[in-house]
Chain A
Amino acid sequence: MTYSLGDIAISLALVIGGAFVLVGSIGLIKLRNPMSRLHAPTKAGTLGVGSILIASVIYSFAYGEGSLHELLIMIFLFVTAPVSAHFIAKVHIHRDQTEQKLPKPPADTDWATKHTHARDNGQVGGQIGDQIGTDADTLS
């Protein structure tokens, strides 16, 4: 039994895609804290799904009329995946569940999601700002 070049290309793309989706899932189990776990699905969402879709394109050109639908799926995935990752990261910052403390922003007073370094009282960062911040936290 012989295989055509197309068959080999299709199966190669499928195996690569499946492997990266698997590694993404293993990452979800293995990595310890939520922010690190967020890195696992970016793998499955880019190269994993990407190469499965490429397999689909090759298949359609080898055995059918040819289709480029899959490009659209890829574009939509690439546009929407960062948005959901961004929101999950924001939730973690909001709930103070991050392992390490957030660094101070190099510009401006603070990060947009949560004011940890300075309160809105004209104090820009520094020890005084932190002191007022902790006082306000204990009061509330």
Chain B
Amino acid sequence: MLNRLFPHPIMTILLTAVWCLLVNEPKLGTLVFGLILGTVIPFATAAYWPNRPRIPRPHLMLGYIAIVVWDIIVANVVVAAIVLFKRNDRMQPNWVSIPLDLRTPEAITMLAGTITLTPGTVSADISDQGHALLVHALDARDPDAVRDEIKQRYERRLKEIFE
């Protein structure tokens, strides 16, 4: 019953939050209308989303976001220093290939997005069966170190959240 009314609970929360932010006025009416939208939209479109992505441990997401934001700030400073002070011929752009332990498409998408958002690395391609990521690094003498860091820092945590 509850499952039929709220086919996608996380989407309900997300829609309500987005509505409240869009209206941008802290009133009770906003929240109520947001909740109505958050209930009606997933209910009406449930037929088009037959498989709900499974997120077994969504609460770990907050810690993950905090780590990513911190890494973005640190990497920004590092890459800014590289761009401003390092001569072009000293730079060593490199391809890094990362074998994936993640299997769900949502988790792989999150990992690829995270890699692109942290400056210094851009995810460029995925292997044809989806078991490896191709990443371009701006300045990496040692591609293996970049690979290990991404696997240790992001992939391990995403695996906890999604699988």
Interface residues of A (CB under 8 A from B): 20, 23, 26-27, 30-33, 35-36, 38-40, 42-43, 46-47, 65-69, 71-72, 78-79, 81-82, 85-86, 89-90, 92-93, 98-100, 102-113
Contacts and interface: CB of A to CB of B under 8 A. Distances in A.
Nearest to A78: B117
Contacts of A32: 88
B105 interface: no
Contact of A39 (B18, B73, B120, B131): B120
B18 to A, nearest CB: 7
**Chain B facing A: main interface SS:** mixed
Interface of B: 18, 21-22, 24-26, 72-73, 76, 79-80, 83-84, 88, 91, 93-100, 112-113, 116-120, 122-132, 134, 136, 138
A105 B93 CA distance: 18
Contacts of A31: 83, 88, 91, 138
B21 A27 contact: no
Nearest to A89: B124
B116 A86 contact: yes
Contact of B129 (A36, A71, A108, A113): A108
Nearest to A102: B95
Contacts, number: 138
B83 A79 contact: no
A107 B116 contact: no
Nearest to B81: A23
A93 B123 CA distance: 12
Given A102-B95, A105-B127, A108-B131, A85 B116 contact: yes
Nearest to A107: B131
Given A82-B112, A103-B95, A107-B132, A42 B122 contact: yes
Contacts of A43: 76, 79-80, 83, 119
5 contacts: A38-B136, A72-B22, A85-B122, A108-B131, A111-B127
Closest 7 interchain pairs by CB?
A107-B131, A89-B124, A82-B116, A108-B127, A105-B127, A108-B129, A106-B99
